[in-house]
Every structure is written in C-alpha cells, then in structure tokens.
C-alpha cells in the first residue's frame, strides 16, 4: 500500500463517495461501483484500492 499524496483526485472526481469532512470519509455506496473503480484506479499514488467479490 502506498501513502496518499493528497492530490485531491478522489474528492474532486467523486465527492458523493469521498468526503474528507465526514467520518468515515469514504461512502462506497455513494455511486455506482464502476464509477468508484474508475476513480480508485486513477489514484495517482496508488493509496486507494478495492477488492471485487464475486457473488
């Protein structure tokens, strides 16, 4: 796991999921899973990740 470089990519890209003013600051159900994955994949530091669970 990498450390966050505070680029703001997640907060700017998907504020319905990533809101540093709230606790917990990540609300994974705040957007469609594809949108969350897209933003996490674009994290410049690699600090965010996810694990897909197959039903």
Domain boundary assignment for the chain:
1-49
* Predicted local confidence at residue 53, as pLDDT: 86
DSSP-assigned beta bridge partners for residue 26: 18
The share of the chain scoring above pLDDT 70, in percent, equals 96
Low-confidence ranges of the chain (pLDDT < 70): 1
Q: Which of 50, 39, 49, 51 is nearest to 8 (CA)?
A: 39
Rounded CA separation 30/14 (Å): 9
Question: The tokens of 43 are what?
Answer: 């994290």
Rounded CA separation 47/33 (Å): 18
* Predicted local confidence at residue 1, as pLDDT: 66
């Amino acid at each position: 796991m990498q450390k966050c470089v505070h680029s703001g990519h997640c907060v700017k890209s998907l504020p319905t999921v990533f809101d540093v003013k709230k606790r917990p600051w990540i609300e994974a159900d705040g957007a469609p899973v594809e949108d969350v994955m897209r933003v996490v994949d674009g994290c410049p530091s690699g600090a965010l990740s996810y694990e897909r669970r197959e039903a």
